[in-house]
Structure 1
Amino acid sequence: MSKLAEFRAAERALAEQLAYLESLKNDGALKKEIEFEEKLKGLMNQYGKSLRDVIAILDPDSARDVVRRGPRGAQPTRRERQIKVYKKPHTGEVVETKGGNHKVLKAWKAEYGNDAVESWLSA
């Protein structure tokens, strides 16, 4: 596509976007929403309330969800990993780990194989 064609296409798209913006500006429902938002923000400032306070007042059940999820909708925390205890039968050496990224455990797996080391797992 030539630069002139690109320019004209962009110009048409801009004209369409401007026409859409003008139609939104003249929309009565949008004007009412903007007015409501301004009045609500004014009231919140007047009474020193935050958006969370207003939501907690209007919908108390949602406040419980926020407490359950944590700040800013964070995911619930993961279950803590259980400690696994491996006992090497040859020497009686014990390794306690919560994951498979343990230096000694990796060395054992490299030397004896994964299946053998997993069989050393104590219940």
Structure 2
Amino acid sequence: MDFANDAFQFYTIHQKDHHGGDKAMDPKHVYANTTNPSICPILSLGVYWLMFPVDHSTSGGRLFPGTSQYERFRKLFSKRLLQDKDVLVALENNGLHVGDLGTHSIRKGSATYTASG
């Protein structure tokens, strides 16, 4: 991670087109949203760090420690769906169950929407 001018820069090692992770990639840039703090990524990261201080001795230098983020997200996603009666009724009306839903469209769809402006 680094700051360059008014952008927060970070490097991703694992990308779809480069699975080895053995060479540096071009940095991704994240900018503050000064007109709408409720969706500002820089402010959100600052609040996250205040709530969960980074301990590099236990996190291995990772920003978000943990080993199975996908599984953790899937469990929370399913649990939230089970708590919402309207969602359960809508699923049932369409012949679906909570277990039929995956997380790919949520994770990838939101990233695509965000990146497309």
Q: TM-score normalized by structure 2?
A: 0.22
| Greater relative CO (CA pairs within 8 A, separation 6+) | 1
Larger radius of gyration: 1
Q: TM-score normalized by structure 1?
A: 0.21
